């Protein structure tokens, strides 16, 4: 998981973030920050989120889980 060869959920998360309005080029520092901030499960949850405003139903479908199961991924 710690490689920089373009594999793994953190690389996918980095690509998703880089595609937003504020760019974030992929490098070891960015990888380290993502690993510090997000568990693999949280990173996967974010990667699967739609990039546009969406209904709860669309998000449930993209995550393949009901919103009641999201509590583990949402922080207060």
For residue 46, being part of any structural domain is answered with: yes
Per-residue pLDDT in tens (0 to 9) along the chain, 76 residues: 344 455 699 999 998 888 888 888 889 999 999 999 999 988 988 898 888 888 888 888 888 888 888 776 665 4
The per-residue pLDDT for 45 is 87
Count Cβ atoms below 10 Å from residue 10 Cβ, excluding itself.
Answer: 23
How many domains does the chain divide into? 1
Spatial CA neighbour of 63 closest among 43, 74, 42, 49: 49
For residue 4, being part of any structural domain is answered with: no
Residue 64 has which token pair? 């393949």
Rg of the chain over Cα atoms, rounded to whole angstroms, equals: 13
For residue 50, being part of any structural domain is answered with: yes
Give CA–CA dist 74/30, Å, rounded. Answer: 22
The per-residue pLDDT for 18 is 87
Residue with tokens 């990667």: 47
């Amino acid at each position: 998981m710690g490689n920089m060869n373009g594999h793994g959920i953190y690389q996918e998360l980095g690509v998703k973030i880089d595609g937003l309005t504020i760019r974030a080029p992929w490098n070891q520092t960015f990888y380290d920050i993502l690993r510090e901030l997000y568990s693999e499960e949280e990173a996967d949850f974010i990667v699967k989120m739609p990039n546009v405003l969406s209904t709860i139903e669309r998000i449930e479908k993209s995550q393949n889980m009901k919103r009641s199961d999201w509590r583990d991924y949402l922080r207060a």
